[in-house]
Amino acid sequence: MVTLDLSQLDITQANEKIRQCGREGVDVEIINPDARHNIGVGLVDPITVKVKGSAGYFCGGLSDGAHYEIESNVGWAVGDNIYTGSVVVGGNAGAIAGVAIRGAEIVIHGNMGSRAGQVMKAGTLCCGGNAAFMSGYMMYGGRIIILGDAAEKVGQDMSAGEIFIGGEIESLGNDTEIVDMAPGDLESINEFLDRYGMSFSGQFTKVVSAGKKLRYGNSEPRTRPQPFFISSQSSSYWNAKVQEDIWIKGEVGRYRIRGYGASKPVPHLNDIAFARDITQAPSDASVLEGINLRTKVGGRFGAKPLDLSMPVMIAPMSFGALSRSVKIALARASRLSGISESTGEGGMLDEQREEADQLIFQMLSGRLGWNIKDMLRADALEIYISQGAKPGLGGQLMAKKVTPELAKIRGIPEGIDLRSPSRHPDVLGADDLVIKVDELREATGHKKPLGIKMGAGRVNDDIKIAYKDGFDFVELDGLQGSTGAASTEVLENVGIPTLSAIQEAVDGLAEIEAKGDMHLVLMGGIKDGIDAVKMLALGAHCVSIGTAAMIAGGCIACMQCHVGSCPVGIATQDKGHEARYDIDRQAQNIHRYFESVRWQMAAITKALGYDDVHSINRDDLVALTPEAAEMTGLRYVPGQRDNTQHDDKLTDLSRKAG
Amino acid sequence: MCGIAGILYKQPGNHEIGNTLISMLDGCQHRGPDSTGFALYGDKNEQLQLRFIVPTDEAGKSTAINSIANLLEKHNAKIAAEESVGCSYKIGVDFGGDLLAFTKEMEEQAKLVSVGYSLDIIKDDGTAREVDERYDVGSFTGTHAIGHVRLATESAVRPEAAHPFWATGFEDIAIVHNGQITNYWKMRRRLERRDYAFHTDNDSELVAVYLADKLAQGEKLDDALKTAIDDLDGTFSFLVSTPTEIGYAKDHLAAKPMVLLENDEMIAVASEEVSLNRLFPGQAINSTEPAPGTYKTWSL
């Protein structure tokens, strides 16, 4: 047993020593813990950590296999996201005890705070005292045992799992019901209590999901797809798309759901042109010589940055929304082109990890597939707050895609219409996010760049919060950003255009004298290298490309991503449909598309007289429309429109790249 | 966006509330390293104590002090004592007129941050320890105090945006708040129609004015906190103090943390247990977390 004195060590030093003890198989005792946050986070070895006193937030969080014993109280989120292992708390626990556990055993001898067991997937959370409101909020599985009383809304919006209450229940949550104890329930509970030196002699009340809200009452009817390039044309008010939409709403009586992004026209990068004639760019392979495109992302606090061959990432898209084959193709293309791939929501695939050289691990509110082991094998981490397609809302994955395989990796019941929570259990403000950032950095030893993904809403404010909360980079997603499923109302109407987003972000950081300190990665409607260079000139450090990579890899833009029977095997979990997807061929197509992006970026850089793509700046751009000028503050030079034949030339160039 | 802490000793006397609150706020400084503030209650003064935030450059400072002097003269308030430290200018005045009118005019001209006979609000950029170095908060003795550490996110780091806020127009009342009031503009306009002035866009100022208005109507602090939980929408844990009481209110969703410790001698309350631990180093303490949607007050 090694004793660590927290009055002598800071938490980072202490966690390093705890992990070292873990590797050596030696138990640890912590003295003078002073209710400090993040004690023992990120531990992946089966040792015991004893805390002589109280611990703060996230005690034992993001761990796998270890055992924690806390003599006194704990703060918020004890045992956050533990896979296996146990935490025993002698005193009381703050809010969200046992949040997102995947199989661990958490025992609180005293009382526990609100939302205990939020989004938990498996394992047992046991409370010897009383539980505050919303125990089992949005739980997906596992068991909560409360020996005392439970306050209001027990099991609010739970999808699965069981809650046993020994005392009084103040009220039940939405979509829950009381059922009889099943044979074996009591034996199993008693066996658990016995193991932890507890006992109970009263009667339990068992609460489970009533299952009435797990699926939409009416599913989307089958219709002939109207592809994006048709539905986005605003020819008249009552065009075919609008009529169809009204008919279907008459049938299902709710909002519509579809894939892809906003289809209404908004000012975008086409409304901006280069200020100078760039037709002199060479149009052969020599264009790449002597031009620096290499871009590092995320070294603000000393983590090892992503090292990209050009300022381009592949946008986060989940295994779930997309088939396994597509995730493999994207990962391979990212390696071939020297850029990064991202897991999106829902966990990391082994094949994806093997194929990609640089892989960002995304961490979302539902904690679906989020685990310490994948964090440790990622090259960068990214906490998701929202996305351009649906700012303020969580992801949606319709039942057809929630197959047994997918349910297993995400830790949820099969066949539900999965609506991910709109917010993180432990991030209810900027101050909470600061503490979360600390946990994520502590759990991974401060080695990985940490980003935040935000849909573009109040960017001017949000960007300052992101800066203040200590992120290395921000992935900022405009209104035009696409998704696998969202309501059309939100897709079309919520958020601000990508062009406004970059400008607000740059202005916001300038207002707090932080321009350039935190890397901005812009996404939402970036279709080629020309768009990318314009975005860089406006102040982005890098762009992220999703939809264009999909199209390069075979997507036909039919906007039926949500249905789950994608005709080309991309947005589907149906093995038959997925078999249509040729991984080898499509990976090469995606790779060649990214090489065309590279050629375009290099050509424009050269034509503008620079040798580094990051030297291009606002002075190299003009606005072609009053709206774009207003949004960006660029000079309004409509005459430059006549000089846009260079676009044809560059398109020609990209063809040669292929 | 922040951390809060409060301490009340049940027995009257000169308790070391300054030092106590400094160490409590130091404990949760990670929740807000940008600015720190204290609302401290000591012996009742004969004169009304006013504290202003003034520019730190000499020219700006003397301009501000001059305009304060002119207004004092206009309202027949005589300076009995004055001191100037850092960004702060403090005076004691003999005043017998209409406080609401006086302070309203004063606030239009100068950044008035504390008004009271026993209250002193000290707030500035920096950590609890740094603010103590500038203002010697540690030497303050009294019966109760509340304090705040701030993480400046959407707005700039400025001393006047720091907490605590005094309840405009009403002496000796202060609040500290952690969270966001989402019906801020609706409530602010309602209070503005009743002739209250707002001097920041900080939602926490609204809490102070809201409570002051209720107290002015003769409501007990208890009742004011009860209605605040329903009237104010958003996420909050806040503390309020008067010359004889402190109280808390917590939103219905318990979205912001708060822990509480009561024994025979004191009530201590804070965003996190680490602040309470500072009062009893090395000892296990029996803290509790107040339930969502609850409020409570304690008197001296």
Inspect the interface and report whether the beta carbons of B31 and A56 lie closer than 8 Å. Answer: no
Residue A499: alpha-carbon gap to chain centroid = 22
- How many angstroms away from the CA of A468 is the closest CA of chain B? 6
Distance CA A601, CA A440 (A): 35
CB contact at 8 A, A273 and A622: yes
Nearest CA-CA partner of A203 in A164, A150, A172: A164
Average pLDDT in chain B: 91
Task: Give the pLDDT mean for B22-37.
Answer: 94
User: Is the model's pLDDT at B262 over the cut of 70?
Assistant: yes
Q: From B117, B147, B162, give the residue that closes a domain.
A: B117
Nearest residue of B to residue A34, measured between CA atoms? B274
Other beta carbons less than 10 A from residue A643's beta carbon? 17
Is the ipTM beyond the 0.90 threshold?
no
pLDDT of A650: 55
Same domain, A307 and A190: no
Same domain, B147 and B242: yes
Interface test with A, best of B201, B258, B273 (most A CBs within 10 A): B273
Same domain, B140 and B251: yes
Residue A295 lies in a domain: yes
Task: Give the pLDDT mean for B46-57.
Answer: 91
- Tell which wins on pLDDT, A386 or A218: A386
Name the residue among A72, A91, A431 with its Cβ closest to that of B31. A431
Inspect the interface and report whether the beta carbons of B277 and A94 lie closer than 8 Å. Answer: no
Inspect the interface and report whether the beta carbons of B291 and A133 lie closer than 8 Å. Answer: yes
Same domain, A191 and A324: no
**Quick one: CA dihedral B267, B272, B275, B276, positive or negative?**
positive
User: Is the model's pLDDT at A645 over the cut of 60?
Assistant: no
pLDDT digits (tens, 9 = 90+) for A246-302: 898 999 898 888 899 998 889 999 999 999 888 877 777 788 999 999 999 999 999
Domain count for chain B, please give it.
Answer: 2
- Strands of B111-116's sheet in order across: B78-85, B88-94, B48-53, B111-116
Q: Any CB–CB contact under 8 A between A560 and chain B?
A: no
Same domain, A276 and A203: no
Same domain, B17 and B136: yes
Rounded (10°) CA dihedral A39, A41, A46, A47: -20
Task: Give the pLDDT mean for B227-252.
Answer: 94
Task: Give the pLDDT mean for A596-602.
Answer: 95
Residue A369 lies in a domain: yes
Nearest CA-CA partner of B234 in B213, B206, B265: B206
Same domain, A170 and A293: no
pLDDT digits (tens, 9 = 90+) for B75-125: 888 888 899 888 899 999 998 888 888 888 888 888 889 999 999 999 999
Nearest residue of B to residue A152, measured between CA atoms? B292
Same domain, A274 and A397: yes
Residues in A closer than 8 angstroms to B150, CB to CB, are: none
Taking CA atoms, A72 is separated from A68, A90, A115, in Å, by: 12, 5, 20
Residues in A closer than 8 angstroms to B272, CB to CB, are: 35, 56-57, 75
User: Is the model's pLDDT at A237 over the cut of 80?
Assistant: no
Domain count for chain A, please give it.
Answer: 2
Residue A596 lies in a domain: yes
Residue B83: domain span: 45-117
Same domain, B69 and B21: no
Name the residue among A32, A75, A430 with its Cβ closest to that of B151. A430
User: Is the model's pLDDT at A3 over the cut of 70?
Assistant: yes
Name the residue among A114, A438, A468 with its Cβ closest to that of B153. A468
Interface test with A, best of B272, B280, B283 (most A CBs within 10 A): B272
pLDDT digits (tens, 9 = 90+) for A23-79: 999 999 999 999 999 999 999 999 999 999 999 999 999 999 999 999 999 999 999
- Phi-psi map region of B191: left, alpha, beta (phi>0 left; psi -120 to 50 alpha): alpha
Inspect the interface and report whether the beta carbons of A56 and B272 lie closer than 8 Å. Answer: yes
Taking CA atoms, A610 is separated from A281, A292, A346, A601, in Å, by: 12, 9, 41, 11
Q: Which class for A541: exposed (0-12), middle (13-18), buried (19 or more C-beta within 10 A)?
A: buried
pLDDT of B1: 60
Residue A605 lies in a domain: yes
Name the residue among B1, B274, B292 with its Cβ closest to that of A34. B274
User: Is the model's pLDDT at A174 over the cut of 60?
Assistant: yes
Task: Give the pLDDT mean for A546-573.
Answer: 93
Inspect the interface and report whether the beta carbons of A132 and B272 lie closer than 8 Å. Answer: no
Distance CA B266, CA B261 (A): 8
Same domain, B88 and B137: no
Residue A13 lies in a domain: yes
Q: From B85, B117, B149, give the residue that closes a domain.
A: B117
The CATH number covering residue A427 comes to 3.20.20.70
Name the residue among B178, B284, B288 with its Cβ closest to that of A72. B284
Same domain, B150 and B287: yes
Name the residue among B1, B32, B287 with its Cβ closest to that of A73. B287
User: Is the model's pLDDT at A463 over the cut of 80?
Assistant: yes
Same domain, B293 and B160: yes
Same domain, A293 and A157: no
Other beta carbons less than 10 A from residue A255's beta carbon? 12
Residues in A closer than 8 angstroms to B30, CB to CB, are: 37, 434-435, 438
CB contact at 8 A, A11 and A37: yes
pLDDT digits (tens, 9 = 90+) for A186-234: 999 999 999 999 999 999 999 999 999 888 887 777 777 777 777 766 6
pLDDT of A624: 96
User: Is the model's pLDDT at B169 over the cut of 80?
Assistant: no
Q: Are strands A486-487 and A257-258 parallel, antiparallel or unpaired?
A: antiparallel
The CATH number covering residue B18 comes to 3.60.20.10
Distance CA B168, CA B146 (A): 17
Q: Any CB–CB contact under 8 A between A114 and chain B?
A: yes
Same domain, A122 and A31: yes
Residue A467 lies in a domain: yes
Task: Give the pLDDT mean for A175-185.
Answer: 97
pLDDT digits (tens, 9 = 90+) for A426-443: 998 888 899 999 999 999
The residues of B that are catalytic are 2
Residue A131: domain span: 2-209
Same domain, B111 and B131: no
User: Is the model's pLDDT at A644 over the cut of 60?
Assistant: no
pLDDT digits (tens, 9 = 90+) for A341-375: 999 998 999 999 999 999 999 999 999 989 999 99
Nearest residue of B to residue A423, measured between CA atoms? B255
Same domain, B89 and B174: no
Three-state secondary structure readout of chain B: CEEEEEEEECCCCCECHHHHHHHHHHHCHHHCCCEEEEEEECCCCCCEEEEEECCCCHHHHHHHHHHHHHHHHHCCCEEEEEEEECCEEEEEEECCCCHHHHHHHHHHHCEEEEEECCEEEEEEECCHHHHHHHHCHHHCCECEEEEEEECCCCCCCCHHHCCCEECCCCCCCEEEEEEEECCHHHHHHHHHHCCCCCCCCCHHHHHHHHHHHHHHCCCCHHHHHHHHHHHCCEEEEEEEECCCEEEEEECCCCCCCCEEEECCCEEEEECCHHHHHCCCCCCCCCCECCCCCCEEEEEC
Q: Which residues contact A198 (CB under 8 A, 6 or more apart)?
A: A107, A109, A126, A128, A147
Same domain, B69 and B149: no
Helix (H, G, I), strand (E, B) or coil at A331: helix
Q: Any CB–CB contact under 8 A between A442 and chain B?
A: no
Distance CA A652, CA B86 (A): 65
pLDDT band at A646 (very low <50, low <70, confident <90, very high): low
User: Is the model's pLDDT at A628 over the cut of 90?
Assistant: yes
Inspect the interface and report whether the beta carbons of B292 and A132 lie closer than 8 Å. Answer: yes
Q: Which class for A463: exposed (0-12), middle (13-18), buried (19 or more C-beta within 10 A)?
A: buried
Q: Are strands A473-477 and A450-455 parallel, antiparallel or unpaired?
A: parallel
Interface A-B, measured as beta-carbon pairs within 8 A, has a size of 99
Inspect the interface and report whether the beta carbons of A37 and B254 lie closer than 8 Å. Answer: no
Tell me the percentage of chain A whose pLDDT exceeds 70: 97
CB contact at 8 A, A495 and A517: no
Give the burial string for A69-101 (b: 16+ CB within 10 Å, else e): bbbbbbbbbbbbbbbbbbbbbbbbbbbbbbbbb
Q: Which class for A316: exposed (0-12), middle (13-18), buried (19 or more C-beta within 10 A)?
A: buried
Q: From B78, B94, B117, give the residue that closes a domain.
A: B117
Residues in A closer than 8 angstroms to B256, CB to CB, are: 428-429
The CATH number covering residue B98 comes to 3.30.70.260
Nearest residue of B to residue A468, measured between CA atoms? B153
pLDDT band at B37 (very low <50, low <70, confident <90, very high): very high
Same domain, A455 and A587: yes
Nearest residue of B to residue A53, measured between CA atoms? B284
- Pick the range with the lowest mean pLDDT from A103-107, A145-149, A238-242, A391-395: A238-242
Nearest residue of A to residue B279, measured between CA atoms? A34
Nearest CA-CA partner of B295 in B261, B246, B233, B262: B246
Nearest CA-CA partner of B202 in B219, B174, B177, B233: B177
Residue A244 lies in a domain: no
The CATH number covering residue A11 comes to 2.160.20.60
Same domain, B195 and B77: no
Residue A373 lies in a domain: yes
Inspect the interface and report whether the beta carbons of A111 and B288 lie closer than 8 Å. Answer: yes
pLDDT of A658: 42
CB contact at 8 A, A100 and A120: yes
Same domain, B70 and B140: no
